[in-house]
Amino acid sequence: MNAPHPPKVAGIDSTVPTPAHTVAPVPPAPGTPPVPKPPAAPAPGAVLQDRLAGWVSDLTTLHELTERLARTDGLEPALQELLRAGAALVGARRGLVALEPADGLGPHTTIGLGLGRADLGHMETVPRGALPYDTGGTAAEIVHADLFAEDCLDPRHREVAVRLGYAASYALPLTTDAAARLGAVVWLYDEPAEPNERQRHLIGLYVRHSAEHLARLLEVERTRACMATIAEELLPSRLPRVAGVQLAARHRTGPRGGGDWYDALPLPDAALGLAVGSVTGSGPSAVAAMGRLRASLRAYAVMEGEDPVAVLSDLELLLRLTEPARSATALFAYCEPALRKVTLAGAGHSPPLLIGERRTEFAETSVSAPLGMLACWEAPSVEIQAEAGETVLFYTDGLLHRTGDPMDRAFARLHTAAASIPRTLRRDPGAIADHVLRTVLPDGLDSADSEEDVVLLAARFD
């Protein structure tokens, strides 16, 4: 008679007790290898812990990568960081990002990782619709797990892939809710491959965050470009041609736009008016004030340019009446090229530099306060008698401030740079200005982002 079974409960397997008459298991014979036991199933808690550890690792990786991206303060460094971090996430070695804002306002650029300029040029020869990163304006990814196994691959794309040595690609669009499409990024594999599900999830999160950061940097870049364009438009588009003197100017604008300016205008009796100056502050208001001040000085120069003190006195009165909360430095020179004579007056401005074969020295101008600092400005003018072949170099204080040195050392650096100009360059005022810029501001400081504007105006007398 069979023994009764205990009742079954849903979800639980009842255990049947071993009958008392069950025979004990026979021990294995000597020399017989033991029978391996089946592996024990992992406990549910251990599986959950492994998953949590994987999630924490992924979140930590994303946090570190996004922190590195957030520390970039320029568009190009951010694009480079996007390529490097993305390559690590998807297991690729090379890639490129194409910045092509959908609004058409630019800037448009293509940056490669592990790809030279020639490689990027080859990539651009692929028809637009066949590019590995052309998502067609959609938010979808583009996966080419094995390019050479695809029958519908564009022939030119196949040629470029063979030339550059990549066999697979993975691309994602750069899109944001506010700025729409910014471009696309693609990573290239040397062998047939594609990212797995986990890698796609991570790179998708990272690229979405990157697109938002790039959109902010893009807006900053556009603002900087706009300010630089406005500042350049307010300055002379070309320098006048006057017999007996050659002119050259160099201008470097800060990222927010500054108030440094220069001017050169023909005056009656074959004379020439030269001016440099700087308005305090930065941004749109400083640029606008600079434009108003320069336009006013031109009018005063035409009416009474032969008296530089009168010109600056009128300018000081105008500044106090129209810009009471702002001050400015200025230097105006009345040049007579036929006589090689320069009469100048300065208001808080650095003295010009005379550069010639036999001398390199600062002009001895009188010490005076900037415009708008005193109730009434006036300072005596000085005369400079230049020799044939000598150059008078005007500049703004931004040239000295960008060095980061104390003013006495900055002046010494400027003097040394002017004295070291090769003889072959002294006939060209543009070459003189370039040499001074490169020497006083080495290692790209002349073009790097700085709060200080830089202006150089060189006048070489025949």
Mean pLDDT in each 10-residue stretch from start to end of the chain (462 residues)? 42 42 53 61 69 80 91 91 94 93 86 92 88 71 90 90 94 85 93 93 93 91 78 80 93 75 92 92 80 90 90 88 85 93 90 92 82 72 90 92 89 93 92 93 70 89 92
**C-alpha closest to that of 174 among 199, 126, 138:** 138
What CATH number labels 236-461? Answer: 3.60.40.10
Alpha carbon distance 107, 220 (integer Å): 11
389 torsion bin: left (phi>0), alpha (psi -120 to 50), beta (else): left
The pTM of the full predicted model, rounded to 2 decimals, is 0.63
pLDDT of residue 23: 47
pLDDT of residue 31: 61
Helix 75-90 to helix 44-70 angle (10° resolution) is 160
312 torsion bin: left (phi>0), alpha (psi -120 to 50), beta (else): alpha
Alpha carbon distance 208, 82 (integer Å): 11
Determine the Cα angle at 449 with ends 448 and 455, to 5°: 80
Domain 66-228 in CATH 3.30.1330.90? The answer is no
**All structural domains of the chain with their residue ranges:** 66-228, 236-461
373 near 425, Cβ under 8 Å? no
